Structure 1
Amino acid sequence: MGASEWDYYVPYQEDLNAALQQLRREVFEAGEYYWVNGADWRPEAEREPRPRTLEELWEAELVHEAGTHSILDVFLVLGPDDTPDYNTVEPVTAEEALELLGTEKLTRAHVPDFDVFPRSRWVGRCAVLHDDEGKPQEICFWGHSGD
């Protein structure tokens, strides 16, 4: 299948990790993810219903290999001193935004240029997006995951 790119926008809140956790719950509850154990490539008799909880989802061994091709594949927003690793989200820093896009306050207009930010498969990124007056408006999460 290969990896899938994904992006999501949520209203701004200061706690980026809380925003991620809320988004993950919403995506899971809406069923907006790839469920490998219920996939069409499996014989119908072997297809399993979608899990009832995120914990059940990650108990399925194939999910660790195939992923969900969604925000569910990342678990934690890193702090300023943390090193990006598998299943984490690295926030864009003000310094990084200034160096790569010429401003510390990113807006929706900058999103098409987000490919300048270094990223790795199975490691998401996030950025606070501001309105025209420079006030935080929303958070953009993006990345690519899955196999």
Structure 2
Amino acid sequence: MGASGWDYFVAYQPDLNEALRALRDKVLAEGDYWWAVPGKPASAYGNRPRSFAELFADEGVQTDGTHSILDMDHVLADGEDPDYGTVQPVTDDEALQYAGTKTLTREHVAAIDDLVTRRWFGRCAILHDASGTPNEIYFWGYSGD
């Protein structure tokens, strides 16, 4: 089947891992991921998993993933190497190179989307409002088989 792209906008908070955790909790609760049938959201099933332990105990999820942010484990710290299931923040240098500014906004999302270059990997970027104040976090990536 292949990987699926996904993206999410969440309210800004300084702790990117906490933002990821809250987003994952929301996606799980809403059933906004693939589970029993590829291409059909888990929310279509009354018997879908309700906890991470239950979800990731499923053999299909272990091999094929959820095609969502649920496949990501944590946001990388500075200097930590990207790996399977991780989210890497956009650096100032990348923001300057791809968007022409270190202060990214929603208008810059298209310019940075290509920074995800492999499957089972995500990125995140802090997006600012018109006054330059951090306003949102954009998470995006590809996962699933």
Calculate the TM-score normalised by the size of structure 1. 0.88
5+ residue gaps in structure 2?
Answer: 39-44
Shift, 1:120, TM fit: 1.6
Superposed CA RMSD in Å reads 1.7
Q: Which residue of 2 aligns with 1:32?
A: 32
Identity of aligned residues (%): 54
Query: What is the count of residue pairs matched by the alignment?
Result: 139
Shift, 1:8, TM fit: 0.2
Runs of 4+ residues over 6 Å off in structure 1: none
Partner secondary structure for residue 137 of structure 1: strand
**Could you tell me how far apart the structure 2 residues matched to 1:135 and 1:34 are?**
35
Partner secondary structure for residue 79 of structure 1: coil
Calculate the TM-score normalised by the size of structure 2. 0.90
Shift, 1:100, TM fit: 2.3
Shift, 1:24, TM fit: 0.2
Give CA deviations for 1:32-61 in whole Å, capped at 9, x if unaligned.
1000xx328xxxxxx993112111111112
Shift, 1:118, TM fit: 4.5
* 2:34 counterpart of 1:19: no
**Could you tell me how far apart the structure 1 residues matched to 2:8 and 2:138 are?**
6
Partner secondary structure for residue 5 of structure 2: strand
* 2:52 counterpart of 1:54: yes
Shift, 1:94, TM fit: 1.1
Q: Which residue of 2 aligns with 1:112?
A: 110
